[in-house]
């Protein structure tokens, strides 16, 4: 028989435990539940026929109490099984157990053939490469993998472009778990974008990142598209329209550059700085900076504008004083988090162009 209502499968005969070893405990649980409390609701209408409302209410309470008793007892039995080592949990769980045991005993979510072939050549390379990387890491850096199996503690946040040529961990030669990452077209920080804003909130508020890097890159297709007088269609056109606004803010500076490639690279730099400003405009960032403004080294997170050159692999800190830039606009962007946008020293407002020519 099959108990479909519980998502369980159990075949009669001695071969059932061999075919479905992991499903039998669930089937036994389902049958025990049906025997313990399942029959009462089915027969309730006959028993309550002619009963007063008070009697029917009492019967319903009895059935609910029976269900609760059953589940409480079952939970206690499961707790005992956990304590006896039938299940494994990571550090900090009340039953305790090393992460290595949890990794070793983890069952695959689906049954996938080891010799599975993929139609896409690159997809096959991806899984083959991951297999080799995983084996190498578990051999040479197992403690790191076990640590990452339970938590992450990044101190850096990277807001970069979705461009495939700019893989942050690769170009920085850093390990997994060291950089908290958000990537989109043209490394935008748009305050209406829930993806970026929720990542900022989590990264700053929960993970406690100390430095946020906004990384533009030369050859950015999103910036190039914004410089063309074409309607790229929704939603891309709406997305890159903010880059057109950056051009408008710095039109005099940009129009003075005769070479088209240099002008594009200049807009890439200016767009990166503008997104740094948007980071400081975000409520979670201002709140955290207010909370840490009196600590040694000044408020965190600190925000950095960087640009990457895919042709050389070089990531350059543009050395822009973002605090100086925003100090001229505090009266506009301050969300009443006192001192959050104040520089470490009172500075003059930034020039109209965020990056000095």
Q: What's the rounded Cα separation, in Å, for the pair 45 and 349?
A: 79
165 catalytic per annotation: yes
Catalytic residue among 102, 163, 281, 306: 163
Catalytic residue among 102, 217, 281, 288: 217
Catalytic residue among 56, 82, 87, 165: 165
220 catalytic per annotation: yes
248 catalytic per annotation: no
Angle ∠(323,324,327) on CA atoms, nearest 5 = 85
Catalytic residue among 8, 220, 276, 306: 220
Give alpha helix (H) positions in the chain.
16-19, 24-33, 39-47, 53-83, 99-105, 121-140, 142-148, 168-172, 194-201, 221-226, 236-249, 251-255, 260-281, 283-291, 322-327, 330-333
User: What secondary structure letter does DSSP report for 218?
Assistant: T
Q: What's the rounded Cα separation, in Å, for the pair 81 and 86?
A: 5
The answer to whether 224 touches 235, Cβ cutoff 8 Å, is no
Q: What's the rounded Cα separation, in Å, for the pair 130 and 7?
A: 33
Catalytic residue among 161, 253, 276, 289: 161
Q: What's the rounded Cα separation, in Å, for the pair 318 and 321?
A: 9
Task: Please choose, from the candidates 28, 17, 9, the residue with its C-alpha nearest in 3D space to the C-alpha of residue 78.
Answer: 28
Angle ∠(152,309,268) on CA atoms, nearest 5 = 95
Give the residue numbers marked as catalytic.
161, 163, 165, 217, 220
């Amino acid at each position: 028989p099959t108990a479909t209502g519980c998502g369980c499968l159990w075949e009669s005969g001695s071969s059932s435990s061999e075919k479905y070893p992991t499903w039998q405990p669930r089937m036994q649980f389902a049958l025990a539940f049906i025997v313990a409390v399942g029959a009462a609701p089915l027969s309730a209408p006959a028993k309550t026929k002619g009963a007063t409302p008070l009697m029917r209410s009492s019967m319903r309470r009895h059935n609910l109490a029976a269900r609760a008793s059953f589940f409480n007892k079952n939970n206690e039995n499961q707790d005992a099984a956990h304590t006896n080592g039938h299940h494994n949990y990571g550090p900090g769980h009340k039953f305790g157990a090393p992460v290595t045991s949890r990794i070793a005993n983890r069952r695959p979510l689906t049954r996938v053939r080891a010799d599975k072939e993929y139609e896409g050549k690159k997809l096959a390379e991806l899984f083959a490469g991951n297999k080799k990387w995983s084996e190498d890491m578990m051999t040479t850096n197992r403690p790191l993998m076990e640590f990452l199996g339970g938590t992450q503690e990044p101190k850096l946040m990277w807001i970069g472009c979705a461009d495939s040529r700019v893989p942050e961990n690769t170009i920085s030669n850093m390990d997994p778990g060291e950089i908290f990452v958000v990537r989109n077209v043209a490394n935008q920080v748009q305050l209406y974008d829930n993806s970026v804003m929720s990542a900022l909130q989590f990264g700053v508020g929960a993970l406690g990142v100390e430095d946020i890097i906004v990384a533009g890159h030369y050859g950015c297709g999103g910036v190039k598209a914004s410089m063309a007088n074409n309607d790229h269609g929704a939603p891309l056109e709406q997305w890159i329209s903010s880059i057109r606004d950056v051009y408008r803010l710095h039109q005099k500076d940009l129009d003075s550059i005769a070479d088209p490639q240099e002008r594009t690279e200049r807009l890439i730099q200016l767009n990166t700085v503008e997104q740094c400003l948007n980071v400081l405009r975000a409520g979670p960032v201002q709140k955290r900076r207010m909370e840490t403004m009196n600590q040694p080294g000044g408020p965190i997170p600190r925000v950095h504008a960087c640009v990457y050159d895919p042709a050389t692999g070089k990531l350059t800190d543009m050395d822009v004083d973002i605090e100086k830039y925003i100090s001229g606009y505090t009266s506009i962007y301050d969300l009443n988090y006192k001192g959050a946008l104040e520089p470490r020293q009172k500075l003059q407002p930034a020039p109209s162009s965020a990056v000095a020519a």
